[in-house]
Chains A and B, each alone.
Chain A
Amino acid sequence: MHSRTFILVTIVVAAAVFFVAQLVANNYLFFAGYTVLQFVVLATAWNILGGYCGYVNFGSAAFFAVGAYSSVFLHKAYPLPIPVLILVAGFVAGVIGLGMGYLTLRLRGSFFAIATLALAVVLQTLVTNWDFVGGSRGAYVIRPNSLDVFGHQIPYIEYLFLQMLILAAVAIATARTIERSRLGYGFATIRDDELAAEAAGVPTLRLKLIATTLSGALMGMAGAPFPYYLGFLQPQSAFALEYAVNSIAMPMIGGTSSWIGPLIGALLLGIVQQVATVTISSAVNVLIVGVLLVAFVIIAPNGIVGFVRNLMRRGRS
């Protein structure tokens, strides 16, 4: 499929999702849907660095929180509409991604993962001690209940849902475009063999920095509307373990080799978690993720996408 056609299809699917959700007319659906879509963005962003380049980032929560806290900061300093906040958060998180890329450019494998984890800890300490954005007490972000659009009153959560939907579409289109471009091939050479990539003339350092920046920016963008979603933000919720774990588990379960893997993984795990939150308890979420991750590593190490591809290959021969 051509890239332009794909973007068109993505827009149509996103619009369809939004209108079907409107038909159900249950506000809870938007609350749950927002969280699922947020994970679609996080998983897709993680996969750009983790799946395509092979660099496992354990610090997703840091980028997410940077996005969320840049919104809190602006909310207090100079309130702006949410789409602008998303762009600002993307910029700030992208710069941090670039910095992380520079600092860790000599690290590979588990060493890189540990460094990213450390980044999350450092940033959390910083935010916890920064009074302007609420410090350890947290910050209230009072938002209106509904939004006036051309005389219509739209519930605010629908507005947030729509933004996250657009963001998810953008993230997926970006990931797919990368996958089919020279950039994507360059990323794949870094994943397979960095030394050989250099010998073939691939500018590995520049490509890695592009990946860390892009991945970080998308994660930050996913975090930007978060304070408005919750109404109250504290460091423990922005830097929660669940973001780091889910961002890794979702692409792994879906399959890291293509854009559709993180999407499937995020939809599947995200929905299961939402259902579990309502029917059992929210504490059981991390348990579910853990059990599924272990199961997939044993049964389908290449995720759902790899599993289906194998089945199809076997079916053909």
Chain B
Amino acid sequence: MANSIAISGVHAGYGQVRVLEDVSLDVRAAETVVLLGTNGNGKSTLIKCLMGMVRPSAGTIVAEIDGKTHNLVGLSTEEIVDLGIALVPEGRRLFPKLTVEENLLLGAFRPTARAAKERNLDFCYGMFGRLKERRNQLAGSMSGGEQQMLALARALMTAPRILLIDEPSVGLAPILVSRTIDTIKELQSKYNLTVLMAEQNFNQAIRIADRGYVIVHGKIAFEGNSADELNNNDLIRKFYLGL
């Protein structure tokens, strides 16, 4: 089944501050698309628009999930999670005073996800053996890499079709960044997920990307139809890598 996202002409901001200007982007079924850009260019805002946490002032966001199309603008975050879209928030945002297992079970808070709670928990423990070992440990006491695994696993607990990942590399050592990126690829192919990942770490992100967009000052500055196109591009060198 096709699970995809189409964003077109989205404008959004906070109060008087305009952050996104006429952003159009699509993620097709079972694709891994990266949204590249340095701090303050609107990556997180776009992700928040998708999750219903920020309401765009103009434009449409449409998701196709299991053959049905849904207009996401105007839906609440819970409803969007219910449709099968999950977010791994920037900076992991775990519940530090709850145990690993409690964090995971909270990922399945919605009634639709609750039904398959046990099965999804087994999935997560199968995928991340370390989390099973530490199931009774407080989430806040784990290392950064383990916390990122837990954040990914928590999102999987909703049994998503579309996974949004906001800056998975934040605060991680280079080796863990590369491991996290590998894990995302593994998850994507194993569950045939449609993935949109916002990331600053250009070199790591394009390793697993099918396509990518570069966002500069709230506008899509470049659209690359393959990892190669992103890699060998003067505009990216100039805007993004500062070379």
**CB <8 Å contact, B106 and A199:** no
Interface members, chain B 130-183 (any A CB < 8 Å): 154-155, 157-158
**CB <8 Å contact, A200 and B97:** no
Cβ-based interface call for A186 (8 A) = yes
Chain A residues with a Cβ under 8 A of chain B: 182, 185-186, 188-189, 191-193, 195-203
User: Number of B residues contacting the other chain (C-beta, 8 Å)?
Assistant: 28
Q: Would you list 27 pairs from A and B whose C-beta atoms are within 8 A, ordered by A residue?
A: A182-B109, A185-B102, A185-B106, A185-B109, A186-B106, A189-B95, A189-B98, A193-B93, A195-B89, A196-B93, A197-B95, A197-B106, A198-B53, A198-B77, A199-B51, A199-B81, A199-B86, A199-B155, A200-B81, A200-B106, A200-B107, A200-B109, A200-B154, A200-B157, A201-B78, A201-B110, A202-B78
**CB <8 Å contact, A199 and B87:** yes
Question: Which residues of chain B are near A197, meaning CB under 8 Å?
Answer: 95, 106
Question: What's the nearest-Cβ distance from chain B to residue A196, in Å?
Answer: 3
Chain B residues with a Cβ under 8 A of chain A: 51, 53, 76-78, 81-82, 86-89, 93-98, 102, 105-107, 109-110, 113, 154-155, 157-158
Cα distance A193–B139 in the bound complex, in angstroms = 13
Question: Which residues of chain A are near B89, meaning CB under 8 Å?
Answer: 195-196, 199
Beyond A193-B93, A201-B78, 13 additional contacts (C-beta under 8 Å) are A185-B102, A188-B97, A189-B95, A189-B98, A191-B97, A193-B96, A196-B89, A199-B81, A199-B88, A200-B154, A200-B157, A201-B77, A203-B76
Query: Which single residue of chain A is at the shortest CB-CB distance from B78?
Result: A203
Cα distance A193–B95 in the bound complex, in angstroms = 6
Q: Which of B77, B97, B154, B155 lies at the interface centre, i.e. has the most chain A CB atoms within 10 A of its CB?
A: B77
Cα distance A203–B97 in the bound complex, in angstroms = 20
Query: Which single residue of chain A is at the shortest CB-CB distance from B112?
Result: A201
The 10 closest A-B pairs by CB, nearest first: A201-B81, A196-B93, A192-B95, A201-B110, A199-B87, A198-B77, A203-B78, A202-B109, A193-B93, A199-B89
Question: Which residues of chain B are near A198, meaning CB under 8 Å?
Answer: 51, 53, 77-78
Q: A198-B53, A199-B87, A203-B78 are in contact. Are A192 and B109 (CB under 8 A)?
A: no
Question: Which residues of chain B are near A196, meaning CB under 8 Å?
Answer: 89, 93-95
Query: Which single residue of chain B is at the shortest CB-CB distance from A182?
Result: B109
Cα distance A138–B6 in the bound complex, in angstroms = 64
Among A182, A186, A192, A199, contact of B77 (Cβ-Cβ < 8 Å): A199
Cα distance A39–B76 in the bound complex, in angstroms = 39
**CB <8 Å contact, B113 and A192:** no
Question: Which residues of chain A are near B88, meaning CB under 8 Å?
Answer: 199
**CB <8 Å contact, A188 and B51:** no
Interface of A is mostly: helix
Question: Which residues of chain B are near A203, meaning CB under 8 Å?
Answer: 76, 78
**CB <8 Å contact, B94 and A201:** no
Question: Which residues of chain A are near B109, meaning CB under 8 Å?
Answer: 182, 185-186, 189, 200-202
Question: What's the nearest-Cβ distance from chain B to residue A54, in Å?
Answer: 10
Cα distance A189–B98 in the bound complex, in angstroms = 9
Question: Which residues of chain A are near B53, meaning CB under 8 Å?
Answer: 195, 198
Question: What's the nearest-Cβ distance from chain B to residue A310, in Å?
Answer: 14
Question: Which residues of chain B are near A182, meaning CB under 8 Å?
Answer: 109
Q: Which of B78, B105, B110, B113 lies at the interface centre, i.e. has the most chain A CB atoms within 10 A of its CB?
A: B78
Among A186, A192, A202, contact of B97 (Cβ-Cβ < 8 Å): A192
Q: A199-B87, A203-B78 are in contact. Are A193 and B106 (CB under 8 A)?
A: no
Question: Which residues of chain B are near A195, meaning CB under 8 Å?
Answer: 53, 89, 93
Cα distance A152–B191 in the bound complex, in angstroms = 73
Q: A189-B106, A195-B53, A195-B89 are in contact. Are A200 and B94 (CB under 8 A)?
A: no
Cα distance A196–B94 in the bound complex, in angstroms = 7
Question: Which residues of chain A are near B155, meaning CB under 8 Å?
Answer: 199-200
Cα distance A196–B98 in the bound complex, in angstroms = 13
Question: What's the nearest-Cβ distance from chain B to residue A6, in Å?
Answer: 21
**CB <8 Å contact, B95 and A202:** no
Question: Which residues of chain B are near A201, meaning CB under 8 Å?
Answer: 77-78, 81-82, 107, 109-110, 113, 158
Question: Which residues of chain A are near B93, meaning CB under 8 Å?
Answer: 193, 195-196, 199
Cα distance A242–B82 in the bound complex, in angstroms = 45
